[in-house]
Amino acid sequence: TGRLQRRGGRALAMAQFGYDHLAAGVDNPEPQQNDPSVQLSLGASGPSGAIGDRYVIVLVGLPATGKTYTARRICQYLQFFHGSDTEVFNVGNYRRKKFGAKSPHTFFDPSNAQNAAQRNLCAQEALDDLKTWLHGDDDQSGRVAVYDATNSTRERRAWIVKEIIGSVESLRKIIFVESIVNDSDMIESNIRETKLLMPDYEGLEEDEAVSDFKQRISHYRKAYEPMCEDVDRNLTWVKMIDGGRHISMNNISGFLPGRVVQFLMNLHTSLRPIYLSRHGQSNYNRLGKIGGDSSLSESGEEYATNLAKFVHTEILNLNEDGTFPDPNNRTVPHARLFTSSLQRTRLTARHITHETCDDGWIIMRPRVCPALDEIYAGVFDGMTYEEIKEKAPAEFEKRKQDKLSYRYPRGESYLDVIQRLDPIIHEVEKQKDPVVIVGHQGILRILYSYFVGERRENAPFVSIPLNHVIKLEPRTYSCKVTRINLGSKSGGSDDDDNPPSH
């Protein structure tokens, strides 16, 4: 009954808005039944920016506690999923520009008055630029500035509040985000994976650089004063311990602060790969149709088999057929598998093994997420672009002019899909083991663009070909991208990997 109501409602809407003639006579034997925009209409918030307010997020913590990673992830998340105008002001970059990158640990000794004055000068310059940027050209616009430094004493934090209180509506618009790491292994990993790549240690032996950085941490630790509920009860803050193992907060209220806190609850600095794969070629791909819910072509079936072999050997360390190399040692990484609810992704992932390990873990137990469904083309579902151009030339041109914002008649836009992918990003960010997402071109363009730090305006134009796995390895300052071709060895043109699809 529900399906008939949806289909009947769609037909009525098409007639009401004058689109019924577009779908008449279309050869679409396997239509997509669900309209994600209708399913999510009650929960979608739309591009919200900073709700017209100006916020300042101030990082707090010792070196090697993930502050810069956190600052950059918050910035990208708010820009990409909430349309906020966001900028990071990293005091370390001001220090390198003004005094050079090669600063030994003694430069950070709080007992050295001359060096302390130089560091304070850098902090002031960064804060001055932050205040100038915060107002921008339009004093009424909403913006979020992120002030990235240790800010490790109450005196420093009081100075920051005094400096910027006149640039925001109230004290509640200044949000302190403190990162405390008590896990020595995590600190060691952060140093070796991130800090040794900084210009400060270029040309130094690894052990020498690690030793110097640990002494830098010791200097800051001497004067460090953590955020405290008794002393800092009037401030707005979030405290994260050991990369999100424990989180506490104070005076958090409002939409944007709430979204930031929820995001931080899923954020960590552990390195893990994220694998993106389009489904194998579908019958609609082969015919040049967009959307729909068609099954796989012969080529698509071949890719599904190749993908399973890749996952088994390269991610799970199993044999090609998914069996354990040692039957007496049934253990694998706790990798995760996500697919959409459309059959072409589920069919592509179906050859991946789901054996049970000795510890009770079910390998790659699939999570079917309707939020990962392809952009819904509405009345154009099941058409080719040639048919759309012929039947609705004005719509065809509108899409060419603004691919990000264009919404298919009775369907979705890229911006609509970005909103429904917000919860998926939280789920993927929280994973500390490998993640495999078998999805669709439009969906993977968005996920790829977010993780590599691309602006969402460019997402609709990212290349996500069929028959390829894209391996992403997010880091503090970049995201390493590796593209692996798993296509057929039997030939075929380049066009086979790039069929029309949104």
Residues designated catalytic: 278-279, 285, 344, 374, 440
The SS3 of residue 384 is strand
In 3-state terms, what secondary structure has residue 73?
helix
Helix or strand or coil: residue 69?
helix
Sequence-ordered list of residues with C-beta below 8 angstroms from that of 239, at least 6 positions apart, any chain = 178, 180, 226, 227, 247, 248, 249
Helix axes 67-82, 414-430, angle to 10 degrees: 150
CB neighbours of residue 339 within 10 Å: 26
Q: Which two tokens stand for residue 184?
A: 């020595």
Reported as type and span, the H/E element at residue 10 is helix 2-16
Query: Of 80, 44, 84, nearest to 451 (Cα)?
Result: 80
Sequential DSSP letters for 332-360? ----EEEE-SSHHHHHHHTTS--PBPTTS
Measured CA to CA, the distance from residue 224 to residue 142 in angstroms comes to 33
**Cα–Cα distance between 486 and 312 in angstroms, integer?**
14
What is the DSSP secondary-structure string of 463-489?
---TTEEEEEEE-SS-EEEEEEE---T
What do you get for the CA distance between the two ends of the chain, in Å? Answer: 30
